[in-house]
Structure 1
Amino acid sequence: MPRTGERGGPQTRARIAEVAARLFLERGFDAVTVADVAREAGVSSVTVFNHFPRKEDLFLDRAADAEQLLHATVRDRPAGTGVLASLRAATLGLLDARHPLSGVNDRSVPFFGTVAASPALIARAREIAYDLQRTLAGELGRDPGFTGDADLFAAFFVAGYGTVLVQTAQRLIAGEPHSAVLDEHRARFERLFDALRAGFGGSGGDQA
């Protein structure tokens, strides 16, 4: 039976996610059960599943943030700003803030190391990437300022973004100098946007 007041809201969700991340990083994802997380967070397993439908989502808990960011980047961009310019600004803004979604947060290296060690997390990460691709394609398809192939653009952007993150994590895990890796991280994002501009600029990529 759930404990009194344990269902909570954002604070309960945040506490559960924080506890889960700590346990997964300490012991490895596959060695920790949902019951372990619930017990450590002081809630029931039912409450955990009320906030996180899958165990994998306890660790990959930024998917909703990424989806909301894609919606806002397309829908709420300033007048006269194209989709590509808006995506670039959002991407570099995350990087400058060292946001977890930038791939260069202080916890990025242990995060990616934990994901790489778990087939379940790898599979879920691929599902999330596909969902984000569909989210972006849907937004572009409804945007009158974008006249290109929304599905193709979204596939290139999401796959390219993920590739930059994963390869940066691999280099950091291998012990390469942090400053050099971060410089290349930004440069590779710029090359991604250059490629998108070259491929889609005439149909909405640059104004888009």
Structure 2
Amino acid sequence: MPNGLRDRKKARTRDAIAEAAVSLFLARGFDQVSVADIAAAAEVSKPTLFRYFAAKEDLLLHQIADHQGEAARVVRDRPSDLSPLAALHQRFRAGLDGRDPVTGLNDHPTVLAFHRLVFDTPSLAARVTRYMLDDEEALAAVLGGDITARLQAAQVIVVQRVLSRANWEKLVAGRTADDVHPEAVADAGRAFALLESGVRSG
């Protein structure tokens, strides 16, 4: 089988497993769904499922995992005349404008339910924390790796988390993403201005 066809078949299988898992998790709750349930719904064996996803948590969080290392990439690939914080602010603002679920500013019912499931399930919340720590380490390395870089990276990752959670909370309170957007943009501007005034970087 040509590599391109094989890769497309693997991608379709991975997507089918993930879609089956998310549907079951949202319908029943994360802890009430077994790996066997997911494998059956996706019409694959458990060994096949684990070839695509190493842990049950990954079945739900793979989309978040796709964003891993993004802050480091943004800083590494920024134009030379743009500071790291300015580049990160621009990226977050673009995410708000595009209603990227990672920013919390997406009011699609499935996205809102996804975030609630993550926040309310300890094992998922712990995995997200692990992702954030990995992002922090990657960003710190790009910023230079010294203590100043590590402190700045930690602040950036926490600021993004706080902004995203605040946006999501406004949406679950009944507001729309379009209504919250101006506030979210202002909050992000204020947050990154505080970072800029607290820790200068070249």
TM-score, length of structure 1 as denominator length: 0.83
Deviations 1:129-173 (A, max 9, x none): 11111121122126xxxx881111111111111111112222222
1:189-208 correspondence runs (5 A): 189-201=188-200, 204=201, 208=202
Provide the alpha-carbon RMSD of the alignment. Answer: 2.4
| 8 A Cα contact 2:35 2:56, kept in partner | yes
| 8 A Cα contact 1:95 1:102, kept in partner | yes
What does residue 83 of structure 2 align with? 82
What does residue 71 of structure 1 align with? 72
Distance 1:177 1:101 in 2: 16
| 8 A Cα contact 1:74 1:86, kept in partner | yes
One-letter identity of the residue aligned with 2:126:
A
One-letter identity of the residue aligned with 1:54:
A
| 8 A Cα contact 1:168 1:181, kept in partner | yes
What does residue 173 of structure 2 align with? 174
| 8 A Cα contact 1:136 1:154, kept in partner | yes
One-letter identity of the residue aligned with 1:173:
V
1:39-188 correspondence runs (5 A): 39-105=40-106, 106=108, 107-141=110-144, 149-176=148-175, 178-188=177-187
Q: Which runs of 5+ in 1 are unaligned?
A: none
Q: Name the SS for the 1:43 alignment partner.
A: coil
TM-score, length of structure 2 as denominator length: 0.85
Q: Name the SS for the 1:166 alignment partner.
A: helix
What does residue 3 of structure 2 align with? none
| 8 A Cα contact 1:15 1:41, kept in partner | yes
| 8 A Cα contact 2:103 2:160, kept in partner | no
Alpha-carbon distance, 1:181 to partner: 2.7
What does residue 29 of structure 1 align with? 30
One-letter identity of the residue aligned with 1:183:
P
168-177 vs 130-139, which moves further:
168-177
Runs of 4+ with deviation above 6 angstroms: none
Distance 1:51 1:32 in 2: 18
Q: Name the SS for the 1:9 alignment partner.
A: helix
Summarize the Cα distance change of 1:127–1:68 in structure 2 as closer, same or farther, 3 Å threshold: closer
Q: Name the SS for the 2:16 alignment partner.
A: helix
Summarize the Cα distance change of 1:177–1:80 in structure 2 as closer, same or farther, 3 Å threshold: closer
Q: Name the SS for the 1:167 alignment partner.
A: helix
Deviations 1:185-207 (A, max 9, x none): 22211111111110122xx1xxx
The structure in which a higher percent of residues are helix is 2
Q: Name the SS for the 1:67 alignment partner.
A: coil
Distance 2:147 2:194 in 1: 15
Number of equivalent positions: 195
